[in-house]
Amino acid sequence: MDREPERKTLARRIAALEQDNQSLWKRIQALTEQNEALQDRGGRRAFDEMEEGIRSLEIQVTKALDNTSGLKPDMSSTAKRLSDISTQLASLNGKLDGKVGYAMLSIYAFGIVAVVMRNEIMAFLESLSVG
């Protein structure tokens, strides 16, 4: 039996696996170098401060959510109150349209004064025509 073709195939597979193995080792080394680059002198990672900042932002967002959690019911009750106020203002606007203006009020006042003081006015007019 001739096993030479099988040996060549196996040799090619082994060579391909060795190349894959070498490329994986190169990738592992590159990742290790990147990880070491993230370390600073104190042993802290370069992103630790960023993580603290993110943690602080998350706390602030949580507080903001807690502070604003009651706004939705308040806003709906405020909207209802505004609707009631709008209805009342429309009612007042209708009543104000029927009210007498200053010009008409002064004419009415002048008419009332003329009726009350008609005798005095007549006497004054007669004194002008006689004299």
Mean pLDDT of 90-100: 78
45 Cβ partners below 8 Å, 6+ apart?
A: 38, 39
Task: For residue 108, give every residue at least 6 positions away whose Cβ sits within 8 Å of its Cβ, in sequence order, or none.
Answer: 100
Alpha-carbon gap, residue 127 to 131, rounded angstroms: 6
Tell me the mean pLDDT in the region 97-101. 75
Reply yes or no on whether the pLDDT at 127 is more than 70.
Answer: yes
Q: Rounded distance, CA 56 to CA 45, Å? A: 18
Task: Assess contact for 121 and 114: CB atoms under 8 A.
Answer: yes
Q: Is the full-model pTM beyond 0.85?
A: no
